[in-house]
Structure 1
Amino acid sequence: MKGFTLIEVLVALLVFGLIGTAAAQVGSQYITSYERVRDKTLALWIADNRMNEFRLADTFPDISESTEDLDFGQYRWQVHTSVKGTAEPTIRRIDITISKYPDERSDPINAHALSGFIGEPQ
C-alpha cells in the first residue's frame, strides 16, 4: 500500500496551520503599521500647513485656542490650535494637535502634535 498515514497527514496539517497563522499575523501587523504611518504622514502635513499659515500671515497672532474639523485625503480630522504667550512679548508659542476620526460616530484619536514659535513681523 502506498500513501500517507493518518499521523503524517495530521502533522502536515499542523505545520501548514502554523505557517498560515504566522502569515496572517505578519499581514495584520503590516496593515496596522501601514495605517499608522499613513495617518502620521497625513497629520504631519496638516500640522505643517497650519503652522505655515501662521508663518505667512501678515499679522501677529493673538493668544487664542481653536478647534476645527477638516477633510483631508479621504479622512476627517480635528485640528486643535493653541496660541500661547511667552516670556518675550514679541514671540508666540503655537501648539497644533491633529486627531483623526476613525468613523462618523467616534471621538477623534490623536495622530500628531507640532509645536513652534512665531516672532512678531518686523
Structure 2
Amino acid sequence: MRAACRREGHACGFTLLEVLVALTILALALGALIKTGGDHAALIDGLGERTQGYLVAENQLQRFRLEGLWPEAGVRKDSLEHAGRRWLWQASFETTPDPDLVRVTLEVKSREDGPVAARLTGFLARPGG
C-alpha cells in the first residue's frame, strides 16, 4: 500500500488510528514491565529478610549451645543487632521424651508487629549428659 502511495504521488505515513494503536500497545507493554520489575524487587527484599532472619535464629541456637545451661520449659525473648538491623527473637523450650534433650523453637522478626521472618527448630543436649 505504501509503494502505491509513492507511485501515485500521495503523501505517505501512518494514520492517526495506527499511531494510537501502537501507543496503546506500547503503554500496556511498559506497564506490565514496570509491574514485573516491582514484583521482582519485593520478592528479592523478602528473600533477603528471611535469609537474615534464619541466620539470626541459627546463631541464637548456637549461643544457647555454647552457654551450656539447661533451660527450663517456657519462653525466652530478646533482641539483637545483626547486619545493621535490630532483630527480635523468641525461643520456646519444650521437654522431650528423652530427659537429656530439650526442643527449642526460635521465631525471628525484624519488627514487633511484623511477620515471622524465620522459624527454626533444634535441640539442646543436657550439659555433661
TM-score (norm 2): 0.82
* CA deviation string 1:46-83 (max 9, x = no partner): 00000101122222223231222333223332101111
Give the corresponding residue for 1:44. Answer: 54
Q: Please give the alpha-carbon distance, in whole angstroms, between the structure 1 residues aligned to 2:29 and 2:54.
A: 37
Q: Please give the alpha-carbon distance, in whole angstroms, between the structure 1 residues aligned to 2:46 and 2:27.
A: 29
* CA deviation string 1:28-47 (max 9, x = no partner): 11111101110111001000
Give the corresponding residue for 2:83. Answer: 73
CA 59–71 in structure 1, closer or farther in 2 if over 3 Å, else same: closer
Indicate the structure with greater strand content: 1
Q: Please give the alpha-carbon distance, in whole angstroms, between the structure 2 residues aligned to 1:51 and 1:121.
A: 15
Q: What is the alpha-carbon root mean square deviation over aligned residues?
A: 1.6
TM-score (norm 1): 0.87
- Calculate percent identity across the aligned residue pairs: 28
Bigger CA radius of gyration? 2
Q: Please give the alpha-carbon distance, in whole angstroms, between the structure 2 residues aligned to 1:92 and 1:71.
A: 26
Q: Gaps (5+ residues) in structure 2?
A: 1-10
Give the corresponding residue for 2:126. Answer: 120
